[in-house]
Amino acid sequence: MSDINTAQAPIPAASQRRHFVRSVLSNPTGLVASLALLVVIASAIFAPLLAPNDPSAVQIFKVNAVAGDGYLLGGDGSGRDIWSRLVHGGRNTFLGALITVVIAASIGVTAGLFAGFYGRKLDLVARWISDGIMALPALIVLLAFYQALGASIYLSMAVFGVMLSPGFFRLTRNLVNGVKHELYIDAARVSGLSDLRIITRHILLSVRAPVVIQTSIVAGIAIVVQSGLEFLGLGDPSTPTWGGMLQDAFSNIYVSPQAILWPGLAITATVASLVLLANAIRDRMQQGGVQVRAPKVLPLAASQPLPQAAPDVLLDVRDLVVAYPANDGWREVVKGVSLSLRRGEVLGLVGESGSGKSQTAFAILGLLSPGGRVVSGSILFDGIDLGKSSQDEVRALRGKRIAYVPQEPMANLDPAFRIGYQLVEPMMTVLGISRAEATRRALKLLARVKLPDPERVFRAYPHQISGGMAQRVLIAGAVACSPDLLIADEPTTALDVTVQAEVLDLLRDLQKEFNMAVMLVTHNFGVVADSCDRVAVMKDGRIVEINSVADLFAAPAHDYTRMLLDSVLEDGKTRTYRPPMTEEMRA
Amino acid sequence: MIRYLLKRVASGIALLCLVSTVTFMMVFGATGNVARNILGENATAEQVTALNSRLGLDRPLMVQFGDWVSHAIRGDLGPSWTMSESVASALASRLPVTLSMVTIAVAMMALLSAMLGIAAAVRGGWADRAIQIVSVAGFAMPNFWLGLLLVLTFSVQLGWLPATGYVSFGASPSAWAASLVLPVTALVLSGIASASQQIRGAVIDALKQDYVRTLRARGVSPRSVLYRHALRNAMPAALTVLSVQFIALLGGAAVIERVFAIPGMGSLTVSAALIGDVPVLMGVVVTLIIVVVLVNILIDFLNAWANPKVRMS
């Protein structure tokens, strides 16, 4: 179940199939697993050649014989050759697993394709049935049906296939739900392909790889369960089976304990190969073909002399480089950014998405996503070198002196806790005040950010308030400890246009009230024009231009800035400043 | 919230009805050889006919079904065909044994996989590797084979623990505990394999959420972020795993009870299946479905506690 999402990685096109197989095999795990599987399957196929004795032939002198005494691995409780039974046992095991897999996959994938594609009632019914089947203890059902199904293990394995079909169903259904609104499906529909054609040609193709993974897992489960049924005596006693061998070994456990080893090892090795192969395929799909290993050696920032900052400079960032591990070493997302903020100053950080502006902000907060590192450069906050400070020292600054307002208000409140608690907890930690005092302050803050009925909001869960209200709550949380620096990462992007202006007004008021320095990350020059003193323009991880707002709008120095400004003008978003017409516009 | 739970109860009852019907048709529809099975090879045709009519098998299937249902809703699951007790009393003595074993196994599994899963999610490194090894081993090793290896090592070779036999808690709590150590160990490994991986994924997902960054930006301690916020949000996923594993363990118990000669539901089912004691099989299926439905409703309750969105709707 957990693999549903991970399994949705891009599927290699048919032309790349051979490359795909090769790269799965280039993974050592994948190679060993495939080889092991190949050996077990081949030995089952060629069992008559590999087995020196008839697996059912009884030699009375060799009852519980030790290994090497005539029989390679010894004799079982009836004097039969364990080695011969072992290689023959693989046959019925693989046949049983094949039956289970084919039935589970054909029912599950078909139902999943149709339920996912047509949705609604069909989906509802199919999901109820699938949940119902999953609520049944499969082994108990198979035991209960034993009399009805007769001694043939294959019928039981077929029923087991039905019971395992929900796994395929859920996987396929979710995958189809993911792709059915893709453009190429729409295109196929418009071009007049029938639903059946679309399902079989386009959608089936895109669920193929996850289904292969699921198949190999289900084959493993089938082998384990089949051996369990045979161990309980529900198999055909006349054919050699791994589970049956274990049953025999169990009854002779005091006489010939080593007999327990071989069939169990055969099962475990086979199933482990299947799982490892599935893992190798999954890894290959997730990683796009290249073995990812984060480079261990990190180019550490050279120990630089502490740069001397101007007295009123609060934040001084120099040559900041931020990198994340990637396929081929480290990928730099911020490539040497330098900027500074004075107390009470508002700096706009502008750029397209992916330009590194948010990563710069997170680096200053010390909250890069997992894997991310500040590779070089320095961040000085009020004379404190954050790069040289310990985790705890940086944490002590966060919330208290450096605060953060995020982009998506709803995603930034913990859905499991009341809003009041989410304001009170940090205040108690950071300011060391009592719960009652923190509650009093939180209510006051909620009123300050102009939320109607602060008491109700205090008691509400995040899903009970609107996005605009949530952003006010987050702003209240950010200014709760009267910070010196507020980093706002696109604080209005996710809000309705009417709410955007109100939230910006609120931020501006609070900035003046607390005399905070604000770093306003945005892609919107209108916001910059309304709120900022200075603006830095970022592109591809670098600052291309930094200037006062008035000067930058009047005379953008960099082509990229000009391009950004032009695109804003076309949207008609700014009204405050009217930059002079550029060459391109005259043309 | 109330409506949500009522819906789950209704869905559980529907499931119970559907599964009982299908199971009844399957097991009672195939009772052609049962009388001969019970009487043995040497029975005469007259004896077989007589037994069939005594068991009511000569009636049409639908009549048998109506009869069974009308008794079953009053808690009367009929007499066992092969044992000298009623199905209900056989189940009453067997169910607590299996449930106590499975409950202990689920509790241990939850504890160990939570520890392993959280460690792997937060630290990676050795815990991550341990999970990977355990998950492959736990998946690939049949639990009864693991049970056999445990018996071989700790009972046959070392003589530390009893190989077989079950002592009731009332008779001797220490002997009861000793008799459950090996079976529970054999049962939990595969559960830990799957649950710890899921919990690891759920915790990693929770820690990736935007609100975690915001909480950290406000100065909330890492301990609180992990144990209070991330864990609470990972709870629904973890609970789902537990309910899936509980069902798996109920099935797994059947084989494990056989290995350790524990007189629970599993060994009852196996012997009833082999001889064809159909009323017992019906009773087992119905009882276990009820148990599963109840456990799932309990899980829904816990889920509602962890997830205010469910609670408030």
Type of residue at A418: R
pLDDT at position A397 over 50: yes
Single pTM value for the model: 0.78
Say what the pLDDT of residue A419 is: 92
Average pLDDT over residues B63-83: 80
Q: Give, as one character, the DSSP assignment of residue B162.
A: -
Higher pLDDT, A543 or A71: A543
How is A436-489 classified by DSSP, letter by letter? HHHHHHHHHHHHHTT-SSHHHHHH--GGGS-HHHHHHHHHHHHHTT--SEEEEE
Element (H, E) at A151: none
pLDDT at position A567 over 90: no
pLDDT confidence band for A572 (50 / 70 / 90):
very low
Say what the pLDDT of residue A6 is: 37
- Mean pLDDT over each residue of chain B, to the nearest integer: 84
* Chain segment B153-164, per-residue pLDDT in tens: 887 778 777 777
Least confident residue range of A141-150, A509-518, A536-545, B241-250? A141-150
Share of chain A above pLDDT 70, in %: 86
Say what the pLDDT of residue A81 is: 78
pLDDT confidence band for A310 (50 / 70 / 90):
low
Searching chain A, which residue's CA lies closest to the CA of residue B151? A253
pLDDT confidence band for B236 (50 / 70 / 90):
confident
Task: Give yes or no for a contact between A472 and A505, defined as CB atoms under 8 angstroms apart.
Answer: no
Contacts of A460 in chain B (CB under 8 A): none
Task: Give yes or no for a contact between B57 and B64, defined as CB atoms under 8 angstroms apart.
Answer: yes
A132 at B interface, C-beta within 8 A: yes
Q: Is A7 helix (H, G, I), strand (E, B) or coil?
A: coil
Searching chain A, which residue's CA lies closest to the CA of residue B137? A272
Searching chain A, which residue's CA lies closest to the CA of residue B142? A224
Average pLDDT over residues A122-144: 86
Query: How far does the CA of residue B211 sit from the closest CA of chain A (Å)?
Result: 4
pLDDT confidence band for A293 (50 / 70 / 90):
very low
- Mean pLDDT over each residue of chain A, to the nearest integer: 81
Which pair of tokens denotes residue B144?
Answer: 């009864």
Average pLDDT over residues B89-96: 88
Average pLDDT over residues A156-165: 90
Higher pLDDT, B60 or B147: B147
Task: Return all residues near A548 (Cβ < 8 A) that are at least 6 apart.
Answer: A533, A534, A535
Q: Is A208 helix (H, G, I), strand (E, B) or coil?
A: helix
Type of residue at A178: G
Contacts of B219 in chain A (CB under 8 A): 395-396, 398-400, 426, 429-430, 481
Of A213, A212, A211, A245, the closest CA to residue A226 belongs to A245
Say what the pLDDT of residue B32 is: 67
Which pair of tokens denotes residue A477?
Answer: 């949380």
How is A110-137 classified by DSSP, letter by letter? HHHHHHHHH-HHHHHHHHHHHHHHHTS-
pLDDT at position B31 over 50: yes
Least confident residue range of A35-39, A399-403, A484-488, B36-40? B36-40
- Which residues pair with residue A320 across a beta bridge? A337
Measured between alpha carbons, how far is A399 from A486 in angstroms, rounded to an integer?
9
Q: Return the CA Rg of chain A.
A: 33
Of B271, B222, B166, B136, the closest CA to residue A280 belongs to B136
pLDDT confidence band for A71 (50 / 70 / 90):
low
Q: How distant is the alpha carbon of residue B152 from its chain centre?
A: 25
* Chain segment A423-447, per-residue pLDDT in tens: 999 999 888 899 999 999 999 999 9
Say what the pLDDT of residue A72 is: 66
A247 at B interface, C-beta within 8 A: no
A136 at B interface, C-beta within 8 A: yes
Measured between alpha carbons, how far is A356 from A538 in angstroms, rounded to an integer?
7
pLDDT at position A581 over 90: no
Contacts of B283 in chain A (CB under 8 A): none
